[in-house]
Amino acid sequence: MSDNIEDFRTKTWWNKRVDERKGDLKNLIYNDDYRDQFWGRVDDLLSSMSKYSAIDIGCGYGRFSKHFKDYLGVDFSDQMLNLALKENPDKKYAQLMCCEELPQRADIVFEVNCLHSFGKTREEFIGFYKQYANVAVICIERNGVVIEWLYPQKDNEKNRLIG
């Protein structure tokens, strides 16, 4: 695992947050008015991709695992992964830092609102994870969505997935 001190501080912060919230999953990440709109749009996008296998980088408690049959959640917080396993025991999880070697490939690799925790830009994230994705690498942040397709898309599929 990485020895980057910034990653360690973030991991410590997330572990502490899980302890403070006592497993209150609804308010574990955010508790503001925008949250429900943002997460609703994310759920819509990811559920439209359910035919793909997925790797969720920064999976937290596994919120998005429900959208995929073949799913690997990756997080650096052991407390978050414990919650994920408790909530979704049929899914696979791995404790890794961002941009560490993954144990497998998938059709899509994605992150949701985690780049600030990783200390990575979208370009760095996409550049690293392209080697593990067969179809696309996706960055979903509050200020927009970037999908890096790894093969040419038909116009109707592009619009259906992001529009």
Domains of the chain (ranges; CATH) run 5-162 (3.40.50.150)
Structure tokens at 19: 């302890």
What global pTM score does this model have? 0.76
Q: What is the pLDDT of residue 114?
A: 86
Alpha-carbon torsion angle 82, 83, 87, 92, nearest 10:
-40
Is the Cβ–Cβ distance between 132 and 55 less than 8 Å?
Answer: yes
Q: What is the pLDDT of residue 119?
A: 83
Bridging pattern class, strands 144-149 and 133-141: antiparallel
Structure tokens at 154: 């038909």
Averaged pLDDT, groups of 10, the chain, 163 residues long: 49 68 57 67 91 95 94 94 94 92 95 86 92 92 83 52 42
* Measured distance CA(49)–CA(152) in Å, rounded: 16
3-state secondary structure the chain: CCCCHHHHHHHHHHHHHHHHHCCCHHHCCCCCHHHHHHHHHHHHHHHCCCCCCEEEECCCCCHHHHHCCCEEEEECCHHHHHHHHHHCCCCEEEECCCCCCCCCCEEEEEEECCHHHHCCCHHHHHHHHHHHEEEEEEEEECCEEEEEECCCCCHHHHHHHHC
